[in-house]
Structure 1
């Protein structure tokens, strides 16, 4: 009997069961996801911030819709074979909406969905103006997602709290503990502001924990060895690729405007990156004898 295909969620569970820190870049479209895989990363995270910026040209303030995130995720997941984590924002409604969101992310090909406790419309965790729902409603959101998973949606649940910014670290830790008790596969306290806060979170909350590492953001950028020793399982860099791509595009536009030679990769390297070599191989396989 042929071996059964491994689902994205099964692939991700295998990665999480390995010893050591899982390092994960952020992606925002199919080509950035392909580049992550080509660089040897075993998983990647579809950032809502980055998708909102690249698809809408708008800030991460709840402007992007469920359908737009789902469509972007479907393109990303179909472009690669590595498991992809998807930003599910607040779940886009009540408990029934959240279950539908989880099921939709499974159908799109995601291995994991991140859900958070912000008031809708939400915003980037490292920007001002955030608000969170009460603890009971936050728990309800994660319970609905866990129920969807337990009812057959083959996906991991990452439960995020932004209560560190709106309340204090103690409230954030208690919410993360609650999310773990409910059954979230991964928990995530957003934007701790010191090494001491990061250490306290890791010490007091069981389960797989995420360090969200944004260049020049609120959380200290520690080495992989330091993060692992502290107790983190996942280190995600959600905005690095978006950041450097905007920086490179701005520089190139400046060069072009001023009639200067802009730095680019070799055209053959560009065609390889987007998949022409694979296409040519398939084209040759199906070429007719008289062509």
Structure 2
């Protein structure tokens, strides 16, 4: 049976674009898997919001993200692509980061070229490390993996800082340094997306087009036409959860009555099915 890393690598090079919903905890991972997702994406932004309730401003530690990846990968049977931020330090830090993510069950990671303190790719006022430094990080990432199939994606945030030309030049350098795929974050126009797809057509391409972000919201079929291989929905589910939970908590606090919410929440039986209660009961009987 192929490893999850092998499956992820193969899907990045298939003819059809693969869709990767974002998950920030094990329950979201289970739900995404049940919905038929082939690849799960662990977004640093979503993990930051979930772990410490704050923004994606480099506040989350490597250990906190790895813990989430371990929990998610342990709850599903799907490849997990994880956001490893800037690798949490220099090239030596990146080496350890990749080892920890791989041990936690990730099938691949992306490492970005932002300078510390890093932040969400769709925020303003970012800065970048020199190309040579990022290339060293990518070589360290590739050397660190125990399974050669483990996928190392190079993310560049250069579009907003240095422009589209620099983003493409950096992407080329990162592939030469060993990256298996490229993720040009926050392209600002459809023309940017088209140019990236044209000029990096020989490289597996990852793209994220979040609602409210800087990138035009194009559907998967159009992105596939432009040459993209993996479409992330990094924080879509979490943003939906924010809206729903805000309404639910407000209603509970104001009314003290959950009866009007029953058409908006899962039944007791649905929750038990999603969490696999029957399977655990069978194991309980077997061992009891």
In structure 1, runs of 5+ residues without a counterpart are none
State the secondary structure of the residue aligned to 1:221: coil
Deviation digits for residues 10-67 of structure 1, max 9, x if unmatched? 2212323432010010010111111111111111111111111111111110111111
Give the aligned partner of residue 54 of structure 2. Answer: 58
Tell whether 2:39 aligns with 1:38: no
Q: Is the 8 A contact 2:9 2:149 kept in 1?
A: no
Give the aligned partner of residue 126 of structure 1. Answer: 122
Q: Is the 8 A contact 1:187 1:208 kept in 2?
A: yes
Does the C-alpha gap of structure 1 residues 39 and 276 become closer, same or farther in structure 2, counting only changes over 3 Å?
Answer: same
Give the aligned partner of residue 218 of structure 2. Answer: 222
1-structure distance, mates of 2:219, 2:49? 28
Question: Which of residues 168, 172, 175 in structure 1 aligns to 2:170?
Answer: 175
Tell whether 2:253 aligns with 1:257: yes
1:81 Cα deviation from its structure 2 partner = 0.8
2-structure distance, mates of 1:133, 1:211? 21
Give the aligned partner of residue 164 of structure 1. Answer: 159
State the secondary structure of the residue aligned to 2:179: coil
Q: Is the 8 A contact 2:157 2:186 kept in 1?
A: yes
2-structure distance, mates of 1:58, 1:14? 35
Q: Is the 8 A contact 1:106 1:153 kept in 2?
A: no
Give the aligned partner of residue 182 of structure 2. Answer: 187
1-structure distance, mates of 2:33, 2:151? 20
Comparing 257-266 and 184-193, the one that deviates more: 257-266
Give the aligned partner of residue 282 of structure 1. Answer: 283
Q: Is the 8 A contact 1:161 1:176 kept in 2?
A: yes
Does the C-alpha gap of structure 1 residues 153 and 121 become closer, same or farther in structure 2, counting only changes over 3 Å?
Answer: farther
Question: Which of residues 6, 22, 29 in structure 1 aligns to 2:25?
Answer: 29
2-structure distance, mates of 1:278, 1:15? 30
Q: TM-score, normalised by structure 1?
A: 0.93
Q: Is the 8 A contact 1:99 1:148 kept in 2?
A: yes
1:187 Cα deviation from its structure 2 partner = 0.2
1:281 Cα deviation from its structure 2 partner = 2.8
Comparing 128-137 and 233-242, the one that deviates more: 128-137
State the secondary structure of the residue aligned to 1:147: helix
1:285 Cα deviation from its structure 2 partner = 3.5
Q: Is the 8 A contact 1:26 1:237 kept in 2?
A: yes
State the secondary structure of the residue aligned to 1:236: strand
In structure 2, runs of 5+ residues without a counterpart are none
Q: Is the 8 A contact 1:74 1:109 kept in 2?
A: yes
Tell whether 2:7 aligns with 1:49: no
Q: TM-score, normalised by structure 2?
A: 0.94
1:89 Cα deviation from its structure 2 partner = 0.8
Question: Which of residues 64, 76, 80 in structure 2 aligns to 1:80?
Answer: 76
Deviation digits for residues 64-96 of structure 1, max 9, x if unmatched? 111111111111111111000111111112211
2-structure distance, mates of 1:54, 1:19? 34
Q: Is the 8 A contact 1:102 1:153 kept in 2?
A: no
Q: Is the 8 A contact 1:84 1:111 kept in 2?
A: yes
